[in-house]
Amino acid sequence: MARVVEVLCVPHDPTLPGSARAGEAAPPPLRQVIGHFAELRARLAAASPDVLLVVAGDHLSQWFLDNMPTFLIGKAPRVAGPFAHERELFGVEAYDTAADGELARYLLRQGLTRSIDFGYSDDFTVDHGFTVPLSFLRPEQDLPVVPLFTNVMAPPLATAGRFFELGRIVAELIDAYPEDVRVAVIASGHLSNAIGGPAMARFRTEPETEWDRRTWRLFTEGKAEDLVEDCTYERMIAAGTGTPGFLDYVFALGLAGGRNPDWSSMVASEFGPACGFAEWGLR
Amino acid sequence: MSGERYALDRVLWEVCRGGEALEQFRAAPTEYLAGRGLPEPLRQALIAVDVRTIFLAGAHPFLLYNFALRLEGGFSLPFVGRYLEQLEGLHTGDLVT
């Protein structure tokens, strides 16, 4: 039987690979972020997963307003990206690995029996929301991936309660998967974030907002019911137009059964939007 | 309104992805924007990269930023400063198309 052996929450800011390349020249808080990725890369390797389920919001790169899925399973033969325009604008490196089509199709089929009406795609590119965490956490590009796309950009969005419930059900589905595989789950998201909005540079004067403090406390203390109630679309948007990207962390919390992470760290500084890291070591 | 907002987001999305759309918009913006159901003031705002007017029309901020960044030609702190100056005093409104 399959089982979840590791659950990680990590940021996907496309400028972070540049900070990694800068090495010692990067400001200390960004070096701390890169260090967290290195630590979680080691913990992921120690968990010896056979497959990675990666949950991330697409940034209107693959899915646009003409055809917007709320939750979608990718089941193409390869999981590759990011898009050319992301490489040009941000210098994000390519990532290309096999997909686990069997697990993807299983989750798709079984989700439908549990009132999770996933969309699906056999032809897609993953954007930096997927490739940045994968490049940091599994640069070997040697493990098959199941991508789970979530709409956290184009309202109306699924509620935080729905994201939590989705995580809980996906955990149950993986537990019931008849193959003997070890599954690691990577949730890609962020805390308050306002790319393109009036508050985009707020972190320079207010690295950690009241929303960040309250949300991260509820999240890291495993107060799932309070967190889900608190994470309304209106409150997240008020904290910054990209803040609903946190919903993928709520998915991870649901997948981990609502309990507090075994390890977590929020790095807030004037050098970029606050970065949240969390790990549940289930092996 | 929702159709107009979709048409607006569509232009931002096409241009920020670069390639032929970017070249066509740069070469002949009036022609590029023709027949899309956008009112003249909004067409002029797109041609002028008038970030404030486009934002107030309900454009998705992520697309607007990447549209402006693409037309700028690359990231720089002065660019971000000029971009945010145009949004001073504003709050994100409804984004639903």
**Structure token pair of residue B52:** 């404030």
Over 60: is that where the pLDDT of B1 sits? no
| Mean pLDDT to the nearest integer, A77-90 | 92
Q: Which pLDDT score is estimated for A88?
A: 85
Residues of B in contact with A155 (CB under 8 A): 95-96
Assign B2 a pLDDT band (cuts: 50, 70, 90): low
pLDDT in tens, A179-231: 999 999 999 999 999 999 999 999 999 999 999 999 999 999 999 999 999 99
Q: Is B87 on the interface with A (CB under 8 A)?
A: yes
- Cα-trace Rg, chain A: 17
Q: Which of B60, B71, B94 to mutate to test the interface with A (most CBs of A within 10 A)?
A: B60
CA distance A160 to chain B (A): 18
| Mean pLDDT to the nearest integer, A58-76 | 97
A60 vs B13, B19, B75: nearest CB: B13
**Structure token pair of residue B75:** 């990231």
Helix (H, G, I), strand (E, B) or coil at A83: coil
Q: Which pLDDT score is estimated for A188?
A: 98
Q: What is the ipTM of this complex?
A: 0.93
> Do A131 and A79 touch, CB atoms closer than 8 A?
no
CA distances from A282 to A130, A170, A184, B55 (A): 22, 15, 9, 45
Over 90: is that where the pLDDT of B74 sits? no
Assign A167 a pLDDT band (cuts: 50, 70, 90): very high
A196 and B62: CB-CB below 8 Å? yes
Nearest CA to A240 out of A277, A265, A266, A215 is that of A215
pLDDT in tens, A230-249: 999 999 999 999 999 999 99
Q: Please, which residues have CB within 8 angstroms of residue A96's CB and are 6 or more apart in sequence?
A: A78, A79, A80, A141
A68: nearest CA partner in chain B: B97
Size of interface A-B (CB pairs under 8 A): 69
pLDDT in tens, B17-70: 999 999 999 999 999 999 999 999 999 999 999 999 999 999 999 999 999 999
Q: Return d(Cα A28, Cα B30) in angstroms, integer.
A: 47
Over 80: is that where the pLDDT of A283 sits? no
A59: nearest CA partner in chain B: B62
B75: nearest CA partner in chain A: A89
> What sections of chain A are H helices per DSSP?
16-22, 28-46, 84-90, 101-113, 128-137, 160-176, 210-220, 224-230, 233-238, 247-255
Average pLDDT, rounded, for chain A: 97
Q: Residue type for B17, please?
A: R
A197 vs B9, B92, B97: nearest CB: B92
Q: Which pLDDT score is estimated for B75?
A: 87
Q: Which pLDDT score is estimated for A89?
A: 81
> Do A164 and A224 touch, CB atoms closer than 8 A?
yes
Query: Rounded to 5 degrees, what angle do the CA atoms A159, A266, A249 make?
Result: 25
Q: Is B49 on the interface with A (CB under 8 A)?
A: no
Give the number of other Cβ atoms within 10 Å of residue A220's Cβ.
18
Residues of B in contact with A198 (CB under 8 A): 84, 87-92
B60 and A154: CB-CB below 8 Å? yes
Encode burial over A59-71: b for 16+ CB neighbours within 10 A, e otherwise. bbbbbbbeebbbb
**Structure token pair of residue A158:** 């699924």
B69: nearest CA partner in chain A: A89
Q: What is the DSSP letter of A71?
A: E
- Those residues of chain A whose CB sits closer than 8 Å to some CB in chain B are 59-60, 64-66, 83-85, 88-89, 153-156, 194-198, 200-201, 237, 241-242
Nearest CA to A208 out of A275, A268, A271, A272 is that of A268
Give the number of other Cβ atoms within 10 Å of residue A279's Cβ.
23
Q: Please, which residues have CB within 8 angstroms of residue A283's CB and are 6 or more apart in sequence?
A: A5, A6, A46, A47, A48, A182
Q: Which pLDDT score is estimated for A63?
A: 97
Q: Which pLDDT score is estimated for A90?
A: 84
Q: Is B57 on the interface with A (CB under 8 A)?
A: no
Q: Which pLDDT score is estimated for A183?
A: 98
Q: Is B73 on the interface with A (CB under 8 A)?
A: no
Q: Return d(Cα A153, Cα A164) in angstroms, integer.
A: 18
Nearest CA to A253 out of A277, A220, A230 is that of A220
Encode burial over B25-37: b for 16+ CB neighbours within 10 A, e otherwise. beeebeebbeebe
